[in-house]
Amino acid sequence: MKSLFETENQQSILNRIQNLNEISQPNWGKMDVAQMLTHCQKPLEVANGTLQLNTKIGFAKKLLFKLFKSTMYNNKPWQKNLSTVREFRITDAQDFTSQKEKLIHVINEFSQLKEKKCWPTHPLFGDFTTKQWGKMQYKHLDHHLTQFGV
């Protein structure tokens, strides 16, 4: 699996984002392109430590999430139309240009953390290594850029 910590993969993601425009249409899902750009910032902000999720889950669900943890960063593509946590759901109108610029900024911030050792604990999946964070963030961005055909 590719990682957002690898310069060529980061640049590929940034190039794909540049290929989006205000009328880019999704191949699946409910978000428009500006909402998707906003949504994609959220997991990066969790990893960067600038967003804390208040998601509380019980023991049984936590155990279930741990069973699926590797799907976050393995080589298999994510399924279309997966549900997401409440804090990542973007339903209100967003400004395309400002959200595109913000996503690029957040990606660049995250990509500078490849030497980081102490990451926030993910509220659903627990702890990830630096390598896993890089793969997971790449996979999430790739999933949504594919959703919009870039």
For residue range 17-58, list pLDDT tens digits in order: 999 999 999 999 999 999 999 999 999 999 998 998 877 777
H or E stretch at 145? helix 130-147
**Is residue 101 domain-resident?**
yes
At 78 the three-state DSSP class reads coil
1 domain residue, yes or no: no
The CATH number linked to 143 is 1.20.120
Instruction: For residue 72, give its domain range.
Output: 7-147
C-alpha 62/C-alpha 42 separation (Å) is 21
Within a domain: 70: yes
**Domains of the chain: total:** 1
More confident residue, 111 or 59: 111
Half-sphere exposure of 121 (CA within 13 A, CB side): 8
Query: Residue 126 domain-assigned?
Result: yes
**Phi, psi at 122, each rounded to 5°:** -70, 130
Answer whether residue 69 is part of any domain: yes
85 belongs to a structural domain: yes
* Phi, then psi, of 15 in degrees rounded to 5: -65, -40
Model pTM score: 0.92
